[in-house]
Amino acid sequence: MKFELENHNRNTPDKELLDDLVRVAQELKKEKVTIDEYNERGKFHSTTLTRRFSSWFKAIEKAGLKKSRNLNISNEELFANMQEVWLKLGRQPRYTEMMKPLSLYSAATYDNRYGSWRKALEKFVEFINWEEIETEETIEKKSEITSKHKTKRDINWRLRFLVMRKDNFKCAICWKNPANDPSIVLHVDHIKAWDKWWETVYENLQTLCSVCNIGKSNLDLK
């Protein structure tokens, strides 16, 4: 077996990179090309172009193609997607991991929205940590709530993430986690059951794997 190094593209002329991008567009018979489409058909990898031209959309622009950016993606949708990837991995996601089927949006999407992948991570952490968390203390202050329950049963994605982070992205019963076993699916569950008039607040939530959560049902563990 003969071992060979992959081609080094650092010295590839700009024109050759852009011409290849145009070629892919022509093959697809489209005026715009997504990162996934280019990675499937291109001679180079999309990261070669984003590093050379500072972003995917600048490469698209220089090639004379139309931008494929989805301007309707909200910041919260991007953060919710990042949270899902973070939970599946059980740790901070890396740039190269932000791709389908793990992620709905590529790292380049975050690059173009926030300036860089690092800045996107910083904005995500800022959003997660800044917003108010529902606690027993905060719901008592909401005098406008008149129903028997002061909180909804559903747990929003942001609160789910905060609870899982508190539990180190591990099941609170068996300690299994998706970082060591990708088959593990984590849930966030009420410690004391909501239907027994306990609330959906940070202190009353815990991380459980799907197996332990099904076994627990609506029993109070604490």
Helix (H, G, I), strand (E, B) or coil at 207: strand
Cβ within 8 Å of residue 134, ≥6 positions away: 151, 159, 199, 200, 201, 202
Question: pLDDT digit of tens for each residue in the chain (222 aa)?
Answer: 444 434 556 678 999 999 999 999 999 988 888 877 888 899 988 888 888 887 777 888 889 987 655 556 788 888 888 988 988 888 899 998 998 888 988 888 888 788 888 999 998 888 877 655 555 555 555 444 445 666 776 778 888 888 888 899 999 999 998 888 888 888 888 888 766 667 778 888 899 998 898 866 555 554
Calpha distance 151→99 (Å, rounded): 35
pTM: 0.52
Whether the bond into 93 is cis, omega within 30 of 0: no
What sign does the CA torsion over 61, 65, 69, 70 have?
positive
The continuous run of DSSP H or E covering 12 comes out as: none
Cα-based torsion angle of the residue sequence 8, 13, 16, 22 in order, rounded to the nearest 10 degrees: 110
Calpha distance 207→22 (Å, rounded): 48
Calpha distance 23→49 (Å, rounded): 14
What does the chain come to in residues?
222
